[in-house]
Amino acid sequence: MDEKTLYLALGAVKNISLNISISNLGDDAYDANVSFNVSRELFFINMWQKEEMGFSCELLESDFLKCSVGFPFMRSKSKYEFSVIFDTSHLSGEEEVLSFIVTAQSGNTERSESLHDNTLALMVPLMHEVDTSITGIMSPTSFVYGESVDAANFIQLDDLECHFQPINITLQVYNTGPSTLPGSSVSISFPNRLSSGGAEMFHVQEMVVGQEKGNCSFQKNPTPCIIPQEQENIFHTIFAFFTKSGRKVLDCEKPGISCLTAHCNFSALAKEESRTIDIYMLLNTEILKKDGSSVIQFMSRAKVKVDPALRVVEIAHGNPEEVTVVFEALHNLEPRGYVVGWIIAISLLVGILIFLLLAVLLWKMGFFRRRYKEIIEAEKNRKENEDSWDWVQKNQ
């Protein structure tokens, strides 16, 4: 074993070679042989020797291999090297360690104090090396809500007044390999409140794992229909409409955001296989109507995790193990019917007040107190005087 071989990745290695070196420091050893005790999941392929030295191997049992060395005898002061190759493609991973017990012996009598180096134990840990990734899609990616939006665009549950927007999320977990993933889990989080003290918006109806090879758990919303009741007057409503802010981003990674979490466990996932999670949820739009944002962006996150206790190792710098799914709620920015009427009435009232204010200002400036009659009489007398003067000049 070399220092770089920390473990044997199941499925990544098709065969393994044991490079054996045997030496005889005493007299010629007759019927010298090397035996191997191996796992029953290994299959002997062949024995390889660099030079023909009279080696031969025989599989006596499925887990016991015996190789004769230097037939008919192994010369004194000699050293032989050979390799034994096993097929590892059928390793299941049930055993934590792949072990080889190699024993050298001969027909000669050997002193007991020199038997310590006749047996060798080779061990390598067996690990599931995987490269998992997760992707997700949202349907729909956006929707429009508001007081004037047709109620037929939403759904209602039995005996509930709230209008809900259905949201469907599909997540797919993929194992690139090279090993089978014996078990994994997916953690999912959804921003569930507009504020820390607000009502829960989401109602999870069902979570389904593809091929029924897993299960999911989540916390049900005990009161899916909540219509916030706020004591608002008409002026507050009009002010809220004109002060609609831009985009609000709800992300579970931001501090102070309350989130709904779900957890799914998967059974074994073979190399180059995928597993899906379908999530069916309802979003209470009545809560969104009370918010002052024109666009609310929901960022849902999902992350796949492996269990190190199952001897699973993720390939470093592999595929992303986390995905963010985004969808948006868009306010249609149309006020309620009575709000339009109040806006028109208030606009007329403000217009009249401005007109009266201008009239008072003009009156204060003397615009309406000018002596128009005197000015007209003076202008008339001036013209008469000019006409009479012209007559005098003509008679002269």
**Token pair of 129, please?**
């090396």
Query: Is residue 104 situated within a structural domain?
Result: yes
pLDDT of 390 reads 58
Clarify whether residues 26 and 76 are in a common domain. Answer: yes
How would residue 334 be classed by pLDDT, with cut points 50, 70 and 90?
Answer: low
Whether residues 143 and 213 fall in one domain? yes
Domain range enclosing 113: 8-129
Residues 6+ apart with CB under 8 A from 162: 156, 224, 225, 226, 227, 284, 285, 286
Give the span between the Cα atoms of 316 and 300, in whole angstroms.
25
Q: What is the DSSP letter of 302?
A: E
Residue 358 lies in a domain: no
Instruction: Please give the structure tokens belonging to residue 154.
Output: 């939403």
Taking alpha carbons only, the member of 19, 15, 14 closest to residue 34 is 19
Is 97's pLDDT higher than 70? yes
* Same structural domain, 184 and 122: no
Give pLDDT, residue 389. 55
Query: In this predicted model, which residue has the larger pLDDT, 133 or 245?
Result: 133
Q: Are 132 and 182 in contact (CB under 8 A)?
A: no
* 45 and 61 both lie in a single domain: yes
- The answer to whether position 222 is within a domain reads yes
Of the ranges 85-94, 100-109, 353-362, which one carries the lowest mean pLDDT score?
Answer: 353-362
Q: Tell me: do 63 and 142 sit in the same domain.
A: no
Give CA–CA dist 370/307, Å, rounded.
Answer: 96
Which residues make Cβ contacts (< 8 Å) with residue 341, sequence separation at least 6? none
Within this chain, do residues 160 and 70 fall inside the same structural domain, yes or no?
A: no
Going by pLDDT thresholds of 50, 70 and 90, the confidence category of residue 114 is: confident
* Cα–Cα distance measured from residue 333 to residue 336, given in angstroms and rounded to the nearest whole number: 10
What is the model's pLDDT at position 346? 75
Query: Does 14 share its domain with 110?
Result: yes
Q: Is 90 exceeded by the pLDDT of residue 196?
A: no
Q: What is the pLDDT of residue 233?
A: 54
**Phi and psi for 66 in degrees, rounded to 5?**
-125, 130
Q: Which of 13-22, 51-60, 361-370 has the lowest mean pLDDT?
A: 361-370
Q: Check whether 92 has a pLDDT greater than 80.
A: yes
Distance between CA atoms of residues 246 and 294, nearest Å: 5
* Lowest-confidence pick of 33-42, 91-100, 130-139, 146-155: 146-155
Where is the domain boundary, 71, 105, 129? 129
The pTM score is 0.73
Same-domain pairing of 194 and 297: yes
**Whether 229 and 150 share a structural domain:** yes
- Convert the pLDDT of each residue in 235-290 to its tens digit: 555 555 555 556 789 998 888 888 999 999 999 999 999 999 999 999 999 888 87
Question: Is residue 332 in a domain?
Answer: yes
137-184 pLDDT tens trace: 999 999 998 877 888 889 998 888 889 999 999 999 999 989 999 999
Q: What is the pLDDT of residue 148?
A: 76
Residue 290 lies inside a defined structural domain of this protein: yes
Six-digit token string for 365: 């400036």
pLDDT at res. 206: 94
pLDDT tens for 339-376 read 556 666 777 888 888 888 887 887 777 666 656 666 67
Last residue of a domain, one of 105, 129, 153: 129
117, 144: one domain = no
CATH number for the domain including 196?
Answer: 2.60.40.1530
The share of the chain scoring above pLDDT 90, in percent, equals 39
Q: What is the CATH number of the domain that holds 53?
A: 2.60.40.1510
- Asked whether residue 364 is domain-assigned, the answer is no
Of residues 236 and 191, the one with the higher pLDDT is 191
Mean pLDDT of 42-47: 92
Helix (H/G/I), strand (E/B), else coil: 336: coil
Residue 215 domain-assigned?
Answer: yes
Q: Residue 85 in 3-state DSSP? A: strand
Query: 271 and 125, same structural domain?
Result: no
pLDDT in tens, 198-208: 889 999 999 99
The count of structural domains within the chain is 2
Are 118 and 236 contained in the same domain? no
Percent of the chain, pLDDT > 70?
Answer: 86
**Domain termination residue (choose one: 296, 321, 337):** 337
In a domain, residue 52? The reply is yes
To the nearest 10 degrees (0 to 180), the angle between helices 337-364 and 234-242 is: 90
Q: Do the strands 119-130 and 97-105 form a parallel or antiparallel pair, or are they unpaired?
A: antiparallel
Of 37-46, 56-65, 143-152, 379-388, give the lowest mean pLDDT range. Answer: 379-388
